[in-house]
Structure 1
Amino acid sequence: MFERLDDIPVRRAADGSGEFELTLEVEVDCVYTVAPVDGKQHRADFPPSPSPSPFPLPYRSRFFGEETAGTMDVTAINMPQNRSDQPLYFADQAGTFAVSSWGHPGPIGGAALVQVAPQRPVSWSGDLVPFTLIGDAMWQDVDVSANVALDFDIDCGGGFVAARVDSNGPGWGVRPAGIYFVVAAGGYWRLEPSLQNVADGNLSVSLAHGVDARFDPSPTGSFTRGVRVRLQVTGGQASGWVDGVAAFAGVNVSAVATHGFVALGTT
């Protein structure tokens, strides 16, 4: 939360240097912003931050197709666009996601959630792949689905939906544990227990993996295919579908994560 503090007097330094100084007492785990006030300007007074409350369900945004409590139903693509807007309640963790009206294979009037950063910037932390969070840190049983546009110009490009995304994960950087359902070009899919595994693509540690036989495993040319990706997590089990056909069912995820946010991302 944000808290307005008292004004701090600025005094001329006692060493005769002509500089000015101020004294600010800081507490741990807090972030402070200091700005000058010259007496002619007035600091804006904003209303107090709202009290903590559960994520508002049912939730609807301009690019959402359904308004169903407990189900996230969105469309996502991985292609920079000229026109965009910020989606409500999404918290980008790596990359930059915006709402675009680009005409893609999805059914929601050409609107999509787009990862608009064309390349990875210089980073102070070990962010791995672009992803954004939404929901509540205490969510447990969820059913999340998205229309994902797979760009076949990219050999291994794809997208994922995730549930129970919790904490930053071990070590340096952003490596949250969670249940990640990744679908890539060529119909390759995998179920991963952390964002580190999503980035590494090491099938030996995947919870499940396979290939959808309806896809061309070696597509040629440049085109985009829209697929429906759905992940359902109930208790200690996870099931997933691609375009309505089960990819996996009842995979044991009880040791992965018990609660967390919903996430969307690209690879």
Structure 2
Amino acid sequence: MLKKLLFSIVLAATFSTSAVNAQNSVWGDLARAQFDTTTATLRIPCAVLKDESGNAMPGLAPAYALNLLLSSSEPGSERFRLVDPIAAFAEIPESCLDTITVFDGGTTATFITNSTEIDTDATVFADRFYTLELQADLLADGPVEFSVVSAESRLYRKPTFYGETFIGFIGPSPFDAKFVYDDAFLGAAWDAMQDGLVVFEPGRVVIDCFYEDPNNLLEVFEQLGTNSRSILKPTVTAADNGKQVFTTCTAFNRDINRLERTIQIYTWTVFL
């Protein structure tokens, strides 16, 4: 029965090769499931496969990339047919958003996604996403077909930053603590980003902060565990006045695999 839904993979190496080749040609660089209007196909870059208890299924990969062709668009009787290609993952990618759950000893399967978009919406950044629940009878004759149990759309409002940003100057040596660039400033920037970020839709929004040094002005003078401490290079002179170093923070929404905000919390300008 399960052979109708997914193919088995013998070696872990086969998983990886199959997934990479298929994604390069069919799923491309999709960050989330997307309905391809040209081919009337729902392209799913990753769906976790599990049983009704939430466990992995022996003999099958933990996740798959799939294609579901819209085989019937009749209102109230919409159906999607599982079609080739199918690709397997040896491990579940962190970016995997969707799920396939097999119930009743392998008689039915349910596909659930909360982040599908239509390609035409994605092209114009419409921020419209769909929640779909599809169900397939694995005992039925013929190709595996999923019927639509529920389908809802929503307009997504991305996070906004209303917090403070800071401007500072890198003066001449000797360099005291305020001119040492290490984890202390990264922590302060993270706090400022967290305090100023307004999230309108609950989800897994992750903040990351780092230094940007586009003019290569800094050098590491001390390493304390994972804390790299940097100061201005001795080769920097007044000729470099006006060049800048930034402490930048990003907000990434893991529920839709999208970078939402990039904010330069601290801007440091050389002034010698």
TM class by shorter-chain length? under 0.3
Output the TM-score relative to the length of structure 2: 0.22
Higher helix share: 2
Higher strand share: 2
Q: Which has the higher contact order (CA 8 A, sep 6+)?
A: 1
